[in-house]
Structure 1
Amino acid sequence: MVELSFNQLELSGVLTKPPQLTKSPAGIYHLRFVVEHRSEQVEANLPRRSYVRLQVVLSGQDAPQWSKELNVGQAVTVRGFLNREEDKNGIGKLVLHAQQLVLI
């Protein structure tokens, strides 16, 4: 099997749900929120509307501070990697694991 190591995504958008801060049994903070992106992109030299709503998780010692600063309707840019997670029903979804978060 070939090992592929590049997995980076940068997305700007608006928070659509209040951030939720949790702490794992190992003592790691996780801040979960949803970013909604709407724009017009060019594909095959034609304009195309783009709409994305993506779950984001920011983990680590900065999560509690961000939980106080982020609000619904706020614009952010998030950079990180995509990972597949399953909900309690076994349904898979893509989640953006934030490595960098910037308020716009």
Structure 2
Amino acid sequence: MELSNQLVLGGSVSKPPRLTTSPAGISHLRFVLDHQSEQQEAGYSRRSFVRILVVVTGEAAKQWMNELTVGTQLQVSGFLNRIEDKNGVGKLVLHARQLVKI
């Protein structure tokens, strides 16, 4: 049985997108998505704030580069993965399979 790893998150682009190319020639578009909402938990309202790095890979990265600016509202569908920064600190990254402007 394959374990599920799916996330859908809406929010706005909060840092300018950055397009890079891997040594293998694969394009990667990276940007930060901010989400704010009010959620219900155990009968109580709770403010929710999420800031996450999003990565779009391949041809879609090039297509979205000129579409995204700070403030663009998006719904991102994809999967979570863990990366380590230069200092060895781990963080979650949302690898986008689909982006929809909202």
| TM-score after normalising by structure 1 | 0.95
> What is aligned with 2:83?
85
Deviations 1:72-104 (A, max 9, x none): 011000010000000011000000000011111
Q: Which runs of 5+ in 1 are unaligned?
A: none
Distance 2:47 2:60 in 1: 34
User: Which structure has more strand as a fraction of its residues?
Assistant: 2
Tell me, yes or no, if structure 1 residue 40 matches structure 2 residue 38.
yes
User: RMSD value over aligned CA atoms?
Assistant: 0.9
Instruction: Write the letter of the residue equivalent to 1:14.
Output: S
1:9 to 4, 7, 10: 7
1:51 to 49, 52, 57: 49
Distance 1:13 1:61 in 2: 23
Deviations 1:29-75 (A, max 9, x none): 00000000000000001111000000000001111110000010110
> What is aligned with 1:70?
68
In the alignment of these two chains, the number of paired residues is: 102
Distance 2:3 2:29 in 1: 25
Q: Which runs of 5+ in 2 are unaligned?
A: none
> What is aligned with 1:103?
101
Instruction: Write the letter of the residue equivalent to 2:93.
Output: V
Distance 1:57 1:64 in 2: 12
| TM-score after normalising by structure 2 | 0.97
